[in-house]
A and B are shown apart, each in its own frame.
Chain A
Amino acid sequence: EIVMTQSPATLSVSPGERATLSCRASQSVSSNLAWFQQKPGQAPSLLIYGASTRATGIPARFSGSGSGTELTLTISSLQSEDFAVYYCQQYNDWPPTFGGGTKVEIK
């Protein structure tokens, strides 16, 4: 199965700053990658699919890029509600697999 590795594990960012999260795949996932946001006590929520397409209602400050084995989620200007854990998920190969997550915390 494809192993997804996210880095860093924790990212300390000040409100208004840019955050860049990395997701690396053990083999190519093409653009078949989704990003999720999870807040404490809640289920993960879809942010991005197809590596770069924002889900319905997701603000433009969230953007996804990359393909193959190196993919990135960028939050252009962090708002208070963006401090959370972010996961990537590949759906290019069987079974679907998730990364270990990046926690974005307030600096």
Chain B
Amino acid sequence: QVQLQQSGPGLVKPSQTLSLTCAISGDSVSSNSATWNWIRQSPSRGLEWLGRTYYRSKWYNDYAVSVKSRITINPDTSKNHFSLQLNSVTPEDTAVYYCARVGTVVGATGYFDYWGQGTLVAVSS
């Protein structure tokens, strides 16, 4: 059974960096079939996919156009987790952030079969 456990602060000041971590159990961040994703949810933007990291003989990252200049997703094989960093945050980045797995890529990107518990991150001074 795959489990994803999120950690990180719930309050970030404007212009600073939002940082979250997603610890994986029951699978490996280095899986050759899965992808590891970050998704956020807010009343104004709904569910919004932010980006992913995955391993296929080497590491790849893909990011949503809306955050591409500000986002970094990194895997950590020693801890079997992956992280999200979102720079230069504004109040519009206030949302519940989720990590999620795609078990096997079908279609263009696959569907999200396991989710973390979610972290409410407020951007406020």
Please report A residues at the B interface, Cβ cutoff 8 Å.
30, 32, 34, 36, 42-46, 49-50, 55, 87, 89, 91-101
Contact = CB atoms under 8 A, between A and B. Distances in A.
Contact of B47 (A87, A91, A93): A87
Given A43-B118, A100-B46, A101-B46, A94 B113 contact: no
B111 to A, nearest CB: 4
B68 to A, nearest CB: 11
A17 B73 CA distance: 44
B108 A94 contact: yes
A100 B111 CA distance: 17
A98 B100 CA distance: 14
The size class of the interface chain B forms with chain A is: 20 to 34
B74 interface: no
A15 to B, nearest CB: 27
Contacts of A50: 106
Interface centre among A36, A95, A100 (most CB of B within 10 A): A95
Interface string B61-97: 0001100000000000000000000000000000000
A46 B111 contact: yes
Contacts of A95: 49, 64-65, 109
A46 B112 contact: yes
A96 B51 CA distance: 10
